[in-house]
Amino acid sequence: MMKLLILLTGLVVLAGCGEQPQTITAKPGTSAAKADDVPYGEGKSFADRNAWQLQLRARADNQNEYKRVN
């Protein structure tokens, strides 16, 4: 039983050594990061930036206890 425990412990420890190499695929001077979309993006409810900002402000006001109570 003890040999099995030692063997399993050794296998778990060695499993941590199997890390894959992390290489950068970008050319020098360019970024490998994917460009993010604008948060107000395409769609029916987020068609323009002003509407998106108004909705964010409304959500923040709803989370403000002082404004909700008073």
DSSP-derived secondary structure letter, 32: -
This prediction's pTM? 0.35
**More reliable by pLDDT, 10 or 38:** 10
pLDDT, tens digit (0-9, with 9 covering 90-100), for 47-58: 677 887 888 899
From residue 7, how far is each of 1, 15, 18, 37 by CA, in Å?
10, 12, 17, 49
Q: What is the number of H-type helices and E-type strands within the chain?
A: 3, 0
Identify each DSSP E strand in 1-70 by its residue range.
none
For residue 52, the surrounding DSSP H or E stretch is helix 49-63
Average of per-residue pLDDT values in the chain: 80
**Residue 6 · residue 12 · CB < 8 Å:** no
Residue type, 64: N
8-17, 29-38, 61-70: range with lowest mean pLDDT = 29-38
